[in-house]
Amino acid sequence: MKDVFVCDLQANQVVTTTLLVKSKELRARKSGERYLSLILGDRSGELDAKMWDNVDAVEATFDRDDFIKVKGMVHVYRNRPQLTIHKLRRCQDEEVNFADYFPKTTKDVEVMFEELLSVVDGIQDSYLRELLMNVLMDEDLAAKFKRAPAAKTLHHAWLGGLLEHTLSLCKLCTLF
C-alpha cells in the first residue's frame, strides 16, 4: 500500500512517494534552460509537478503512463499544491500496487474467477471448453485478465472490470 496519497499532501511537506505520470512536457524557461512539467496522480487525485534541475539526466528514463518514485517538496502555487521534484526514478510494475492508482471492482476477484471457471467447465463443446481452460489456467494471462478493466470509460472501467463484465455476460447468456 502507498505511504502517501495525493489528497494527503500538505504545503511545505517533504515527500517521497510513487505516482503515475499522467502527462509529461519538456519546456524551456525564459533563460532557455529546460524543465519538466508533469501531472502526477494516484486514485485520490492529481498533482502538478515541476523538475527544474537535472532534467537531462532523467527526461528520457520515463514516459507518460509510467510509475515514478519521486522525492520533493510540496508548495502552493496559484492556490493549488505543486510538487517540486528533486529526485525521481522510473518504477517497475512489480513495485506498484495498481489498486493505489486506479479504481477497482467492489467484488471479490477470486470468487468471480472461480464462478467463471465453473461456467467454462459447463460448456458442452469439448474443444471450446479446453481452449478456454487453457487460456484461463495460464498464470500470467489469468493474472492480467483478473486485473484488466473492461473499458477506459463508461462500463466496468476499473481493475477487475473485464472479469466482472465477462462473468455478467456469461450469466446473461444462461437466461436465453
Q: What is the CATH number of the domain that holds 46?
A: 2.40.50.140
> How big is the chain, counted in residues?
176
If one counts every other C-beta atom within 10 angstroms of the C-beta of residue 108, the result is 11
Predicted confidence pLDDT, tens digits, the chain (176 residues): 688 999 999 999 999 999 999 999 999 999 999 999 999 999 999 999 999 999 999 999 999 999 999 999 999 999 999 999 999 999 998 899 988 998 899 999 999 999 999 999 999 999 999 999 999 999 999 999 999 999 988 889 899 999 999 999 999 998 87
Please state the pTM of the whole predicted model.
0.73
Q: Give the C-alpha separation, 20 to 82, whole Å.
A: 15
Domain boundary among 76, 94, 112: 94
DSSP codes of every residue in 64-85: TT-EEEEEEEEEEETTEEEEEE
Domain boundary among 94, 120, 154: 94
120 and 79 in a single domain? The answer is no
**Structural domain boundaries, residue 59:** 6-94
Residue 127 lies inside a defined structural domain of this protein: yes
Domain boundary among 94, 115, 135: 94
Residue 1 lies inside a defined structural domain of this protein: no
158 and 138 in a single domain? The answer is yes
76 and 137 in a single domain? The answer is no
Residue 81 lies inside a defined structural domain of this protein: yes
H or E element: which one contains 136?
A: helix 126-137
73 and 111 in a single domain? The answer is no
Calculate the alpha carbon distances from 40 to 21, 29, 44, 59, 64 in Å: 5, 21, 11, 15, 9
85 and 13 in a single domain? The answer is yes
83 and 141 in a single domain? The answer is no
83 and 107 in a single domain? The answer is no
Q: Give the C-alpha separation, 40 to 55, whole Å.
A: 17
If one counts every other C-beta atom within 10 angstroms of the C-beta of residue 72, the result is 20
10 and 58 in a single domain? The answer is yes
88 and 142 in a single domain? The answer is no
CB of 146 closer than 8 Å to CB of 136: no
- How many structural domains comprise the chain? 2
Calculate the alpha carbon distances from 111 to 50, 106, 163, 166 in Å: 43, 12, 11, 14
